[in-house]
Chains A and B, each alone.
Chain A
Amino acid sequence: MGNTSANQWLVEQVDRELVDRLAAGHVANPRSTEMGVDILGDPHREDDEGLNWARLSDARRVEDVVPGSAVVMGSSIGRYLAKVIAWDFEVSDDDPIITMELLPVRPSEVAKLLGRNRTSAA
């Protein structure tokens, strides 16, 4: 694990051992599974740094929400693209806070963009 922040509980890099430990006890969030998103969240939320947050228990799969990952966050008012910034273990060893930066682009816009720029098969 790596920590480059003043917050001793904040982890910006995770190793395989930690991911495996948390994945072993993780139950896929039923609503995130039902919605087909990586993690559930509230796009209104802001933490002390102005970042969005959710909990690991809101995620479908631990492996998909590690720091550095791009994720689709689902909510009652739409889907959001986000980048996972860090895990914060201050309140729980097993269910860390997932801090995310919401990206100013819609998932449907990305889908259209990728479709428009798909490399044609030679």
Chain B
Amino acid sequence: MVRSDAVPDDLVVVVRAAPASVDEAVDDIAHDALQSGRTYAVLDEAGRREALFGVSTFAHRPGVSLLTVLARFDDAPSYLEARVGALRAAGFKVLPTGTNLDHFDVQLLPGQGDDDADEPMLAVRTAATRLVAAAGELRLNPTYHEESDRTLEEE
């Protein structure tokens, strides 16, 4: 479901709570966008169905602590954040999706029919790389704690 609310250029979104490296973040985004594309479709401006190679993002609104936005992701050492305008300038659509008013999907690859037989893996990975570049450097996640479920498992 795409909501009808406007998505202003100056809205800041947490693009992703991320692993420790840019390469891992790109892998992660590409994998999740492909899974989204296999599962969901949206209508484009002309009313045609297109696969939603979506990356779930969350608004970081003025007055809301980053700790609140990232609370769920305290196993992630880093995160990516960007203004919607910067994402649009990089060629991405930002769609207000679902019932959560703070949830948005970045459409990585617009214009792909949802019944196309060939999965555009390379194009999605290239777009994921562009998305990470548009969001700038990985930032340290202030909610990250060292003794995570990952490190406990590895001990």
A residues contacting B by CB (< 8 A) are 36, 42-50, 53-55, 58, 76-79, 91, 97, 102, 106-108
Residue count of chain B within 8 Å CB distance of chain A: 33
> B58 to chain A: which residues have CB within 8 Å?
44
Question: B1 touching A78 by the CB < 8 A rule?
Answer: no
Which chain A residues lie closer than 8 Å to B83 at the CB level? none
Contacts of A97 in B (CB 8 A): 39
**A78 neighbours in B (Cβ, 8 Å):** 73-76, 148-150
Stretch in B85-93, B95-103, B122-130, B131-139 touching the partner = B95-103
Please count the residue pairs between chain A and chain B whose beta carbons lie under 8 angstroms apart in the complex: 73
CA–CA, A54 and B149, complex, Å? 20
Contact with A along B1-41 (1 / 0, CB 8 A): 10000000000000011110000100110001001101100
Name 25 A/B residue pairs within 8 A (Cβ), A-sorted. A42-B28, A42-B32, A43-B17, A43-B73, A44-B16, A44-B32, A44-B56, A44-B58, A45-B36, A45-B56, A46-B56, A46-B97, A46-B98, A46-B103, A50-B103, A54-B35, A55-B39, A77-B73, A77-B76, A78-B150, A79-B75, A91-B38, A97-B39, A102-B72, A106-B149
Residues in A neighbouring B19, C-beta threshold 8 A: 76-77
Q: How far is the CA of A50 from the CA of B38 in the complex (A)?
A: 19
Q: Looking across the interface, which residue of chain B has its beta carbon closest to that of A111?
A: B152
Chain A hits for B24, CB < 8 A: 76
Contact A44–B98 (Cβ < 8 Å)? no
Question: Interface of B with A (CB < 8 Å)?
Answer: 1, 16-19, 24, 27-28, 32, 35-36, 38-39, 55-58, 72-76, 97-100, 103, 147-150, 152-153
Q: Does the CB pair B99–A48 fall under 8 Å?
A: yes
Given contacts A43-B73, A44-B56, A50-B98, 8 further A-B contacts (CB under 8 A): A44-B32, A44-B55, A44-B57, A44-B58, A46-B98, A76-B28, A77-B76, A79-B153
- Distance, CA A91 to CA B51, complexed state (A): 12
In the assembled complex, the Cα of A42 lies from the Cα of B56 at a distance in Å of 9
Instruction: Please indicate the chain B residues that have their CB under 8 angstroms from the CB of A102 in the complex.
Output: 72
Contact yes or no, A50 B100, CB < 8 A: yes
Q: Which among B18, B75, B97 has the greatest number of chain A C-beta atoms within 10 A? A: B75
Closest chain B CB from A109 CB (angstroms): 9
The answer on a CB contact under 8 Å between A77 and B17 is yes
